[in-house]
Structure 1
Amino acid sequence: MESRGAELSGTLLERRYRIDTMIARGGMSSVYLGLDTRLERPVAIKVMDSRLSGDRSFLDRLEREARTAARLHHPSVVGVYDQGVDHREDGEIAYLVMEYIEGGTLRDVLHERGELPIPLALSVLEPILAALAAAHEAALVHRDIKPENVLIGRGGTVKVGDFGLVKAIAGAGTTSDSVILGTVAYLAPEQVATGAADARSDVYSAGLVLFEMLTGTPPYTGDTALSVAYRHVNNDVPAPSTLRQGIPAELDELVVRATRRDPSVRPSDATAFLNELRRVRSALGLHPVPVPVPPSKVAAKLPSYKPARDDDPPTEQITAITDYTDGPTVVKPRQQPASAGPMGTRTMNRSDLPAMPQHPPPAEAEPEPAQQQQPSKRQRERARGKRLALIWSIVIMVLVAGVGGTAWWLASGRFTDVPVLAGQTLVKAQERLRTADLVAKVVHEPHDEVPIDEVIRSDPQSGSKMLRGNEVTVIVSSGLPEVPRVVAGASLTDAEQAIREAKLQPAQNASVNDYSVEVPEGFVLRLVPDPGVKLKVGSPVTIALSKGKPPVAVPAVAGMTKETAYAELRRLGFEPEDGGQDFSADYEAGRVARTDPPAGTKLDSKSSRRVKVLLSNAITVPNVTNQKASDAAKTLREKGLDVEVRHVLPGGGRDDATVVSQSAAPGTRVKPGTKVVLTCLF
């Protein structure tokens, strides 16, 4: 591939895509900045290694994976425009045509800055997980998440590329249990041990990317790929705070959970990981920040291109580690890829070639009789003139034929008619276009009546004149449109765009909105009907939005001490404040009498969370019977009560008279200032 890279500059693939400058080189492919000469737009062209281009099984798998990736419509996924094989004398060139992102990769940011600020690391990871969530919803696993596959373009947009490519390469002449394909620094343990990969494998790799953004280095390094692979299998990824101080415990826990060796205890997929990330960010009070565009990777205009990098870790094949334990690791011998097959270039012996027809030897000229008379000088000149006239006649005839042929070609021979395609199957339509020397560009579009894989129309229409080799857009029915899969937590704008792309009409209805602990207010909660339901073109799809966290009832704290009541309110997210005092016959002074709002009142995220706490000022009446009237009166007045002393017998009124009864029973709670009547005999 390295020697071939320079030769490809200026190459035109399938008479359409011009290869210009190499952007990046990996273990299995190289990426070039190129030009779509028909649409006149810059594109990124990924050219597969020549060892893969001749493998029929790889080409079939690459086509399937490219189709799947092309169906991923998400703002954080690099668009796949086309896929093909250019057949050349020196072999086939398999390629992918992708969206060109003018900028650089996350690797460039890490090269430039090292460890990233925590808000920036989370702002980069969120669109990565959003892209993976869309892929996992479509049952597509990336298998090779790493900083080199995270592109950062204008405005700080973050996009993930190379969806499905590893799966396609892995099927080229290898067995899943003998050869592993990927970047060992980011491989999940199960990929190393068995070659198996699912959504949780992408979660592991994304966790390692977060680890590297926070610390500036991946958790495992080594002299060889296998030494790094062993550590994935036999070691737990450490918390980022072991390498960098100041990382919150919540973020440490998130990284450790995403990178557990046991897949069952990781987040189940990227959607779950994304929700956990948003909860952690909300708990830490962090907000998204702009993502910087790597300056060294931005091409101002064509054809001022970016230089290729050779220091990025490649996607490579390593032998599988079959013992997925902490014990000794057993390694199977690596098997060599299968032969390139009949599509590859091969050497043949001349003896194997079919016999060539033999031409008879030229007849020997008859010797001139000795007595034949020699021609005169005039006869020789006449013969020479005839030969010259014949030669010029032939030259003129060739020129006339050439000019006539060229004129025919320029006038009409270059053009061909677009055949009738509407109503044909896709296979039949492609065959008709090939016969007419035209190229088919297939676009799938939902339709209420036209069966799946049947042509609805073409652009240009049938009968139109076109230059041979040009492209005809064939609009093929994908059947009734389906409600798209929109990840919970997506923005309203993204959901509306996905619904419109599915040829359906987005709608809103406040009655379907609901509260959610996980999805922030104003973001998508679900779609109604559910994703996958088939509808007629233009049918409404209601977007249910989150109303934020559900309302919380004010707890009953009456009777508690002030400190206990404040702690309980704060635990539930309320803000307690002093509401003064209030009388309550049920609770003694200093205990909580009531709250404002009252207990049981439900407050949502839009309501004020302030709760006033009112303490009881009730006075518990002491027992003063059998005491001297003067002492009893003093005791009651010290409690804050009013006192009246009454004498039953005439002539009473002595200060040392004994109290025989009191109007307020001992132990009852009364308001401050309440009058208590003391009765004495004398």
Structure 2
Amino acid sequence: MDATLQDPLLGRMLDGRYRVEQRVAVGGMATVYRGVDVRLDRVVALKVMHPGFAADPDFVQRFIREAKAVARLSHPNVVGVYDQGEDHTSVPPAVFLAMEFVPGWTLRDLLRDRGALSPRTTLDILEPVLAALGAAHRAGLVHRDVKPENVLLTEDGRVKVADFGLVRAVNGQTAATTQQVMGTVSYLAPEQIESGAADPRSDVYACGVMLYEMLTGSKPHTGESPMQVIFQHLSVDVPPPSALVPGLAPQLDAITRAATARDASGRPADAVELLAELQRARREMTPAQLDAEPPAGHAAATGLGVGPGADVSSATALLPPPVERTSVMDPAMLRELPADLVMPRRERPEPPPVALTRRQRGVRRPRWVLPAGVVVVLALLVAGLTWALNGGLYTRMPSVLRVPQAQAVQTLEHDGFTVSLTQDFSGSVPKGTVISTNPGPGARVRKDADVSVDVSKGPQRPTVPSVAGKSVADATAALQQAGLAVSGQQQQQTSSTVPAGAVIGTSPAAGQQVAPQTVVTLVVSSGAQPVPLPDVTGETLDQATSDLQSAGFQVALNPTQIYSDQDAGTVAQMNPPAGQAAQGATITLTMSKGQQQVTVPDVTGMTEKDATKALKQAGFKVRSLGFTLFGSTTVRSETPGGNSQAAMGSTVTIWLY
């Protein structure tokens, strides 16, 4: 007889409100039904705990607490939790969750049907998954059971993360006992296997495994038994997807490697950071890389993307710009899949994390004992493997940070490590103590591993370089290159040896060791101290040279002579002029050719006005003498006489009558 016909919950009303209509899936801890909330007249998913777990009060209380925590998480890519309740009309009572009903199929169904996916399709699915997990991580929650079975692909093109039933608060107890080892082996992070501890980086690891599986169509770690898979998680790195699917973009290899680092400290801190890296990789990839088809044997599911009218699930509800919106699936994909892959029609039970048959156990036990027994066996196997690895070839790297060098070396060599030392400056770690080690503290390493220890030389104290004689620009560049700052204010100082505008020195002085980014003031030359400069115009060249040199100046002679009022052969001009000049400055002397001689115009017979005009145009000054009794006056004579030679600028006297 069909198992669904024997299900006693079908047709029942839970808590007087939820009518159970159809069984959807069976998991390790609960069965999921399609139901109707008769009070609100809406379809819901009812997750009913198996009787064996429902009979455990501690498990039920934890289930309720964690359901409340997830109910507070509101995100478009998370399957919402509406209600939690117990129905006491049966024995034992039915403990259940009322959740958002998501018609569609799981990522596991898609991978089983299609095999490897194209990079674009992979990103379209994984980005909203990370947006959902990122919202949980930033709310202080860890999923702990991320796998394709818990990623739902809806009929209207959305991606939803389901089954937060294993979720734990980050600030709560996260280490599992033998009764609490949970999660599917293929997606467990090494730290979950070794100690049961989980944090957001454990979810990141599972997402990295899913990324590999979507790109290649297969899981990175496989084996004939769970123990073989566990051993690979602990000792073998996840290979790059391109090793199985050549031609994949290198960005996808890099993200897979980072997300699945065996050391949790090497992974992105949470799903938010992994989402940002994934979206950055999408922007860097070409359309050809995004739509690359897997080779034969790795058939790709293509055609996924942002379809017209699709409900775009966005990471922008979680992240600030420039993080891009996440993509979703095209609803048209639903029409391409077999009808039995649509969730309401699926009766395929979900496998428990690790299942042992009753025949293997060799004894018939109550149904509720089976899951607990499986967990105990798995925990014992894990404990045995961990003991063998840690007690045999491997150990944990001790922390020697901020420990004096000699003590650190002694500790590490006592543990069997080979130590090599390096030194570096540090402003926060005291001199002579350990800054860091490679491998880092807590890392799982071989007992005979080589360990690099970086020891502090104390804070770096740069030496002020000598910049004397340099220009201000060159001196500034030299000081900044030495790790120092340069003051915007300069000190001016006279100098008889350093040209004006050049650097004389610095404050602090060159050669001093100072703290990084110490402000250094430049001392800049304003030239030599000014001294009196005697006036030597009118003197002979020899006399002028002697007077200037006696005053401490240098003398230069201008080869060009000029006309001047000074006598020919004497100094007509000096540059700079008499007054003050820098001591030792060079004074240029220009010698006189005497006054320039020009021809005096003959203005006799002209009126006074015309004669004056003609003489001035020729470069002379005019003096008029004479008298008139009546009528107009004319020039009767001039001195010097007309057409004679006279010094330009001299005075010509005209006689009028």
Q: TM-score, normalised by structure 2?
A: 0.46
- When Rg is computed on C-alpha atoms for both structures, the one with the higher figure is 2
